Amino acid sequence: MQLKEYGAGIRAGVPVCVGYFSVAFGFGAMAVAQGLGIWHAVLISATNLTSAGQFAGLTVIAAGAAIVEMILTQLVINSRYALMSLALGQRLGPSVGTGKRLLAAVFNTDEVFALGMARQEKLSTGFFVGAGTVAAIGWVGGTAMGALAGSVLPLSVRTALSVMLYGMFIAIVVPQAREEKPMLLSMVLALVFSCLFVWVPVLNGVSSGMAIVLCTVAAAAICALIFPVEQEVAQ
């Protein structure tokens, strides 16, 4: 039964694999452009599987920031996975043991989580791990191909590839920001704060890793105050 569920997860995860490959290609190329080796980039993708966290971490690494800044950056950016894991654990049910939950947690990315939560049938670890496995193959494979390409392509092409991340974020954020005011405000605030950390004399001395943390927390805090989420009253 689990083998059948695993196959169903693989089939469901193929579109995620294709999407991950294209984004990871940009990460691999950017990592090599920042001075990392090919296998360093592949190792990062194989052990993390988190797009935004990896790109932010690459910025921190390139800036030569302290390990504390790396920890804070990853904690802020990836904190959403804690909430996603709680929801996933409830969907799996109490019969699933700790070992299987830990295995599923390895592949708990935004897109794989969405696949699991949107499934009409009962969610199983076999399905979730199957979808996560094929997604991870796309992510790691894309990183490897991007790193290889980045190591042989001319500097002008590698520089052009480095804007792939920004194109991805624009494609994801802008359509949602046009429909949701909190998303639009958080995007504008993050942009304004980021510019302040570049142009204001005192603030431009803050390291890039700490600037990411401060901008993220400040924008999220302001939006939470302006657009609080109403709690549902239990019947």
Instruction: Map out the domains of the chain as residue ranges.
Output: 2-161, 180-226
Burial of 228 (C-beta count, 10 Å sphere; 0-12/13-18/19+):
exposed
pLDDT at 171: 66
pLDDT at 148: 92
pLDDT at 167: 67
Give the span between the Cα atoms of 61 and 55, in whole angstroms. Answer: 10
Q: Which segments of 78-109 does DSSP mark as H helices, in order?
A: 80-92, 98-106
pLDDT in tens, 136-169: 999 999 999 999 988 887 777 766 666 665 665 6
pLDDT beneath 50, residues of the chain: 1, 233-235
